[in-house]
Structures are given as structure tokens and as C-alpha cells.
Amino acid sequence: MVNKIKADATARMQKCLDNLKTQLTKLRTGRANPALLDHVRVDFYGSEVPISQAAQVTVEDARTISITPYDKTLLGLIEKAILASDLGLTPNTAGTTIRINMPPLTEERRRELTKVVKTEAEEAKIAIRNVRRDANQAVKDLGKAKTITTDEEKRAESDIQKLTDQHVAKVDETAATKEKDLMAM
């Protein structure tokens, strides 16, 4: 029973970490990254899909993303979707290809994005601590029901704390990597 609680807590903490990584890929750095367009959706034959499912998204160089639609009629729709997104990017259409040049970030904008990274990391840590709280409560409930001994309860709480510490360290590491990436020219 305790192992099931720990496995559930581990899976939920990992989801918190994965969510943080997803949120951080949406933050624009000075470099071109196809993942930047993952949350931009386009109407593809009646259903809203990410651009990556309606077109080939590649990186030409460090500052240019190239988008080649699978269907040429989608060119205008993809361009409108990028303009309507909150990314602040301007697509340039050249024949059947859309190119997006990534403008360099100003120092002020880099600092703002660093604050956003810290905020996202803190939210991930809070989510991980909430998972810890839930897991500890489940262990305490087992202890109150006399399903496990007091020693097992303490050991389980200790293991859950170790899991929490590991995942919080991963969050800090992920955030530090993103901040370093943002502050690099």
C-alpha cells in the first residue's frame, strides 16, 4: 500500500516537472526553436491542430525557423495563426515557405523572461509540495487505520521527502538551464 502511494507521488511529481519544461519551451529565447510554435494551432481540414502537424517546421540557422505546409492552401492560415499568437513574431512568406526571423532579445526583455522562469519554477515547486502533502496524508491515514506501523509511517514520510527533494532539485536545475540560455547572447 505504501509503495503504491510512493509510486503515485513519483508519477505526479514527474508530471509537474514535465509541465514546467513544457511551459519553459514556450518562452522565446534569441535562438530559433521549433518547439516555440507547438502551442500555435491552425485550422487543418476542420480541426484545430498544432502547426507541426500541418507543416514541416525546421530550423534553418540559429535565428530562422522555416515552415513548409503539407498543403499549399494552408499557407495563409498558418501565417495568420502565427500573427495572432502571443509570441510577437512576424512571418515572411516566400513562395511555399514561411520564414520566421527571431529578433535578438534586449537586455531588459531577458531580465523579464528570467523573472517569468523563476515564477514558473516556483509554481512547479508548489505543485510538487502539494503532491508531497497528499502522499503524507495518505500515509498518515494508513497509520491511523493501523494498516501500517509507526516505523513504516515514518520511513514512508522520509522516502516521500527524499522524492520531493529530488524533484525540487530537478526543477531548480531546469530553471537554471533556461535562465542561462536566456541570458546568453
* pTM of the predicted protein model: 0.70
User: What digits encode the pLDDT tens for the residues 60-104?
Assistant: 887 888 999 988 888 888 888 888 877 777 888 888 899 988 877
HSE-up (13 A, CA, CB side) for residue 93:
14
Q: Which residues contact 110 (CB under 8 A, 6 or more apart)?
A: 182, 183
Q: Map out the domains of the chain with their CATH numbers.
A: 2-25+106-183 (1.10.132.20), 34-101 (3.30.1360.40)
Taking only the tens place, the pLDDT of each residue in 10-39 is 999 999 999 998 888 877 666 777 878 888
